[in-house]
Amino acid sequence: MSRKPKLLVTRLTPPNVEARIARDYDAAVNPEDIIMTTEELLEKAQGCDAILCSPTEPMPAEVIERLPSSVRMLATFSVGYDQIDVPAATARGIKVGNTPGVLDDATADIAMLCLLGAARMAHNAGTVLRTGAWQRWEPTGLLGVHVTGKRLGIIGMGRIGRALAKRARGFDMEIHYSNRSRLTPELEAGAVYHQDPEEMLPQCDFLSFNCPLTEQTRHFLNRERIALLPDGAVVVNTARGPVVEDAALIEALKSGKIAAAGLDVFEGEPAFDKAYLDLPNAFLLPHIGSATVETRDAMGFKCLDNLDAFFAGRPLPAPVN
């Protein structure tokens, strides 16, 4: 009988995923869910055929180059793979797989939650209630921004962006989007395409980031682009923290240029800019876009589908390179 592939699993995965790993792989797992240092990862990877990793383990070129020669595949427990230097992995003959398609709805749900929570001042309202400051109903108290019928601009109209647009249409929102390429009319579903994202910004009562992190999107939302938004716009980010320049957004939230922001991701997370915590118009979540039992199971199974295919000599269902 041929041996099971040896797999390093860098983080604790859901029980259903752990069971499948134990059944099909000779796995070194992480039951305490300790985030490994680079040196710990490299040591534990000795003799392994593949690594099931996550966004918490950066894989820049210098780490890829130091991986044991036995490692032939990286399966990341995420749809984003900006933590992996894919060209360096390709140069080493290491395949990379990710988990697209299984977290679209869950992440779009959180994007809509961030949009509504920010617009309706949910954080501030909850604070007033929980601290006992709620004394009476006031005609001018806890006023938010109306959502229904407003213009929503989406940066990145992939699966998640389109899922958000579908939800927003339930609020009669007018959808605008900017994408690397224009969608087909069927996928566009009446949304207005803007080849230049800066040209779209003045049309955005709400602006949502649903794009990958690239050199083009890093710190896209800076002071200059915030100035292009209508006064009192609402910003939503459920993509990657670094697409927003924190200092610029915090300044705009304080001044009122931006009415509110709903953020599920942050630059440097979990060590995010704590100035956000002092802002009553910031609705904040700790990167829970895909955090449902069903979605995390599906993400783990997608990782294992990629690994199973690789070791069976089949094409990966979700290849990155």
Q: Which amino acids are annotated catalytic?
A: 240, 269, 287
**144: how many CB neighbours lie within 10 A of its CB?**
18
Strand pairing of 26-28 and 50-53?
unpaired
Task: Specify the 3-state DSSP secondary structure of 53.
Answer: strand
Sign of CA pseudo-dihedral 86, 89, 91, 95:
negative
Residue 100 DSSP code: T
Task: Specify the 3-state DSSP secondary structure of 177.
Answer: strand
Q: Encoding tokens for residue 241?
A: 């923290």
Cα 296 to chain centroid distance, Å, stands at: 13
Q: Encoding tokens for residue 179?
A: 């994408």
Q: Is the peptide bond before 270 cis (omega within 30 degrees of 0)?
A: yes
Beta bridge partners of 17: none
